Structure 1
């Protein structure tokens, strides 16, 4: 990845993707080495690193040890870049979820994303397993087009949010998916003013969601997202 970042033929977008992957893996390795990291979290972070590296460079099939896995397709590398960016934000003291329940939820969601990327390229996985993994990857890639996400953003923008708030919700949704990433973004301090404005308007069907994200772990608020 470091060689690819320095490749003069790489586009700025490709370099950014590679940097996000390296940053995500590096921040996770640092967390693994942190003496304050619990054994449970250390095991989860180790699984995440192994899954991401296997997705980008899967081992050859034991049935055909001489075969070389084809280069990862661009869409998979791009998605790994988004997951890597999410990992960096998760490990950053400025953006990691405050509540332990939320941190566990995002950590689990990221681990599942890495598992799906790995299974999608696993030469030993069955066709059914690969198809199921690809469906999960596709769902996250297309999260910004999810109708509930679009309704959430429409509602957020009613309260004149800051540019930082809108970008944070969008980025977290790209990185983690709907709805965990979206609610993680909504809980960011940059969205505090918009969140307060929404919570003060009791007549809307979104009111209970605003209040929940404002007061409780955002991972407990999914049930308050309007279905229609």
Structure 2
């Protein structure tokens, strides 16, 4: 069996990633998205062994970090790439949520403009700035609520992709191994977890493992599951 550091570099790594994605896509009955290799993936502070899904110039693309291809064992690597394929499979859901968010933010912006306009009118009519300030404050509350909802939808999207990976990879120990690598590279903070969750785009890893295990339990009895 190939070990992580025995893997070749360059185009061979890309072809290996593409083969994993193609195999998972065929199993799920999906077209195969494009696959790209990059020196690093994700925001600063993200694990080195990472991947992401985006539609780059309209082309559905899974981008995987070189470190993931070189350092992850085969099964955790498959979990990582199948998770990103889950985002591709869920793209219509995410686009719908994004359209709802943008429509809501558009309304909040119009409301804020209305507050700015109403303020001077109220002042000139003797009502003062209070009506305009109230409208503006409501627009800020709506924008804040929409922002928190967007982040909640992002967390839900991650869990949906995790469940997809569970259905099409079906190996809980591989998911544990992947998150252990991430825990070493980018440990999660222990303090303030409940409050900080509201502003996170990803669920905590323990929550993600629980979702994967729940999906596996739903698909197959634990006694018959591949580990």
TM (norm. structure 1) is 0.25
TM-score (ref. length: structure 2): 0.25
Instruction: Tell me: higher relative CO, structure 1 or 2? Use CA pairs within 8 A at least 6 residues apart.
Output: 2
Indicate the structure (1 or 2) with the bigger Cα radius of gyration.
2
Larger proportion of strand:
2
